[in-house]
Structure 1
Amino acid sequence: MSETIGAHSGLHSEHGGHRGEHPGRSSNPVIKVQDLAWLMFQKPDLVRAEAFAQAFGFSTVLRNDTELHLRGTDPGTPCVLIRRGPDTRFRGMAFTAHDDGDLQRLASATGGTIVSLPESIGGRSVNLVDPSGFPVEVVTGTYDLPALSPQMAHTFNFGHDLRRVNATQRPPRAPAQVQRLGHVVLQSTKYLKALNWYLDTLGLIVSDFQFFPGQRARGPAMSFIRCDRGATPADHHTLAMALGPSNRYVHSAYQVCDLDALAAGGAYLAGLGYSRSWGIGRHIQGSQLFDYWRDPDGFLVEHFADGDMFDSTMEPGWSPFSASGLAQWGPPVTKDFLGTSPRLIRHEARSMLSALRHDNEFDIARLIGLLKVANS
């Protein structure tokens, strides 16, 4: 019988891994990236994209006929770069390297070339492609935008612990101010190969593994992955990846200051006619308060607050993958969020049939496991 090691009772997961299971980190990564810098998208209508972005809580850094750069209130780089194009698509992500030495090591190990980034951003990058086909830039030396005036968290009375006396609480129904980019979630037909690439090449480490119901022996099918900053805490996940029938963007998440900002910002979005996908609730893996929205092009974006922060000592947790296990509290997970709504199901069915015809990790047994997740 496998011996359970690294048990997590009372921590982020009830169970650690079994001996011989994936360790969740590389023994000798090429480099260790520091953070997720930005995401890149293509959209046909930048005016419409900017209108939603500002209602969602971004500020505009650059806008012209071909590009739109969006930022949060934290100092640093823009966190979303959008180029005008004939259709809507995810065009990849950028991670921040520690220094030029890391870029040199990465270029040498991968056969890549160090190139200069556009003048509007500054710095240098090594441009890679992960095993799923997603473009990945690793950057350093970029311009740091100064901090903007932040949205302040409210002062709360907690039971008999009174911190607000002779003062009312009136959060305005206004856009939640995005502070920063938190994470991106991707689906991959080559999940394990892609996972190992991010661990071996960029030094990311796993916070939580999930496996399809009844299929733990086949290994994980979902992972929540963070940056390894040593003793400095990092987000529970900077990147999350799931095995599925297509290589695609699932959603991205942007931090706001507290629950009131998230809820009042959601009320503002709803008042403008934008579509909530799922929320408000609190996740299990990562613990974030969440609220998911569809942008006008159908892409899923999340407001989050109060997420878990782990240093490098935390070992991976292991748990079954289930729809009911996505939240500690909140409304039931929606068909829109799971991709099983009538609007999305035809595309998902085509993706499944196509994946089964090709040589990848998504086979019949994995399809059955995925369907069990959606119905759990």
Structure 2
Amino acid sequence: MSETARTAHQDLHSEQGALRGEHPGRSRNPVIKVADLAWLEFEKPDLDRAEVFARDFGFAVAARTDGELWLRGTFAGAPCMVIRKGRTGRFTGPVFRAAERSDLDRLARATGTEVRDADVPGGGRAVSLLDPSGFPVRVVHCGERLPALPGQRPLVLNSGTGHRRTNAAQRPPREPSRIQRLGHVVLETRVFGQALDWYLDTLGMIVSDFLFLDGQRERGPVMAFVRCDLGGTPADHHTLAVHLGPGTGYVHSAYQVTDLDSIAAGGEYLRERGYRRSWGIGRHIQGSQLFDYWRDPDRLMLEHFADGDLFAGDVEPGWAPMSTSGLAQWGPPATRDFLGASPSPRRVREVVQALRGDNELDPARLLGLLRAAKS
């Protein structure tokens, strides 16, 4: 690594910065700069069952009809998720929030699309797009904000000689982790480079961290943790993460809760009700979040998180090798379920189709991904 790169990243989030000629992690002239994720869209065959899990996981219900279930957190703003009645349980796309109404007009002109009414409680306008993976992406601007709800209070902690709690016992209630807000979504794609550049060029997002395969750094990264560019206002380390793989689509989504006790007590509540933990509890390296991953009744993965990194717009991307051991600072080993390493007929079909198709996954890349999953 060059001394310039090392100096630029001293005391920052990564020991390694970019080498000469590597991806800069941002677009020179993006069409717009989205302000955040607005919400995520899903389909499920049984909305009653979806609502039971949602409440157990910690969501509140913002609106419910025969065909739609809108879920929210305690923070004021947009809902976190909409679930529409469908034949199977599946993710149907992310929705990003435009900073200004005029951004939608600019985006529509640049992409040859139209600004249309958004099907959201309270109304709004939206532009519908497809990313290079063929995945639906919408950008919205909504006039009405949901009011805040009562939230969980963080526990008062004693630490060292700092005795903030005296003559009082600590008894976190065994109850659902109360979701505060939507944090991020992770997507898998066979055309990682094209997809990444599209999100940077079209939506103005910027990279916080790149991961590359050991021995293949010269071929470029295979995963990026991407945040919104809010200038001097710090933003979540990643609002979107994208990685190369044989499949196309949803990996997991993450929802902020109050603190570690909220994660742990909420996890015990889920476990007692028969839900399946995928991986946790631990603390990530990229993003630093405390995490706990769960499967819903349709086997979609959702994450409780707390205490994530916040970066201003001038923090440059870090670079690190991809490895399973590099996923967490502490916690149990990553499970095969979390890694998607459990063999299944669907996964085998995806690998075969990817290797036969015109995309970025070739045998060397696939072998590198398999080695990273075992390292």
User: What's the TM-score, normalizing by structure 2?
Assistant: 0.98
Point out 4+ residue stretches in structure 1 off by more than 4 angstroms: 1-4
Counterpart of 1:224 in structure 2: which amino acid?
F
Counterpart of 2:185 in structure 1: which amino acid?
V
SS of corresponding position for 1:198: helix
Counterpart of 2:79 in structure 1: which amino acid?
P
Q: CA deviation at 1:346?
A: 3.4
Counterpart position of 1:86: 87
Counterpart position of 2:20: 19
- Contact 1:4/1:19 (<8 A) preserved: no
- Contact 1:3/1:19 (<8 A) preserved: no
Q: CA deviation at 1:164?
A: 0.9
After superposition, the C-alpha distances for 1:148-199 in whole angstroms (9 at most, x for unaligned) are 0011111111111111111111001100000000000000001100000000
After superposition, the C-alpha distances for 1:4-53 in whole angstroms (9 at most, x for unaligned) are 52642332111100010000000010110000000000111111111000
Q: How does 1:155-174 map to 2 (within 5 A)?
A: 155-174=156-175
* Mapped partners of 2:154, 2:216: distance in 1: 43
Counterpart of 2:293 in structure 1: which amino acid?
Y
Q: How does 1:303-318 map to 2 (within 5 A)?
A: 303-318=304-319
Counterpart position of 1:354: 353
1:104 aligns with 2:93: no
User: What's the TM-score, normalizing by structure 1?
Assistant: 0.97
Q: CA deviation at 1:2?
A: 6.2
Counterpart of 2:171 in structure 1: which amino acid?
R
Counterpart position of 1:369: 368
* Mapped partners of 2:286, 2:146: distance in 1: 31
* Mapped partners of 2:128, 2:265: distance in 1: 39
Counterpart position of 2:198: 197
SS of corresponding position for 2:350: helix
Counterpart position of 1:332: 333
* Mapped partners of 1:39, 1:121: distance in 2: 17
* Mapped partners of 2:57, 2:120: distance in 1: 27
Counterpart position of 1:243: 244
* Mapped partners of 2:345, 2:8: distance in 1: 41
- Contact 1:99/1:141 (<8 A) preserved: no
Q: CA deviation at 1:282?
A: 0.1
After superposition, the C-alpha distances for 1:66-120 in whole angstroms (9 at most, x for unaligned) are 1111000001111100111111211101111111211111111111100011262
SS of corresponding position for 2:129: strand
* Mapped partners of 2:82, 2:280: distance in 1: 26
Q: How does 1:224-243 map to 2 (within 5 A)?
A: 224-243=225-244
SS of corresponding position for 1:242: strand
* Mapped partners of 1:138, 1:189: distance in 2: 23
Q: CA deviation at 1:323?
A: 0.6
Gaps of 5+ in 2: none
Counterpart of 2:349 in structure 1: which amino acid?
R
Q: How does 1:174-189 map to 2 (within 5 A)?
A: 174-189=175-190
* Mapped partners of 1:236, 1:152: distance in 2: 24
After superposition, the C-alpha distances for 1:112-141 in whole angstroms (9 at most, x for unaligned) are 100011262411011111111111111113
SS of corresponding position for 1:136: strand
The size of the alignment, in residue pairs, is 374
CA shift in 2, pair 1:119/1:29, >3 Å: closer
Counterpart of 1:290 in structure 2: which amino acid?
F
Counterpart of 1:145 in structure 2: which amino acid?
L
After superposition, the C-alpha distances for 1:268-292 in whole angstroms (9 at most, x for unaligned) are 0000000000000000000000000
Counterpart of 1:323 in structure 2: which amino acid?
T
SS of corresponding position for 2:202: helix
Q: CA deviation at 1:212?
A: 1.1
Counterpart of 2:167 in structure 1: which amino acid?
N
* Mapped partners of 2:120, 2:93: distance in 1: 19
Counterpart position of 1:296: 297
Counterpart of 2:173 in structure 1: which amino acid?
P
1:275 aligns with 2:276: yes
* Mapped partners of 2:254, 2:119: distance in 1: 25
1:41 aligns with 2:35: no
* Mapped partners of 2:369, 2:305: distance in 1: 26
SS of corresponding position for 1:41: strand
* Mapped partners of 2:122, 2:14: distance in 1: 39
| % same residue | 63
Counterpart of 1:372 in structure 2: which amino acid?
R
* Mapped partners of 2:74, 2:121: distance in 1: 18
Gaps of 5+ in 1: none
* Mapped partners of 1:306, 1:30: distance in 2: 31
Counterpart position of 1:132: 133
Q: CA deviation at 1:3?
A: 6.4
After superposition, the C-alpha distances for 1:221-262 in whole angstroms (9 at most, x for unaligned) are 000000000000000000000000011200000000000000
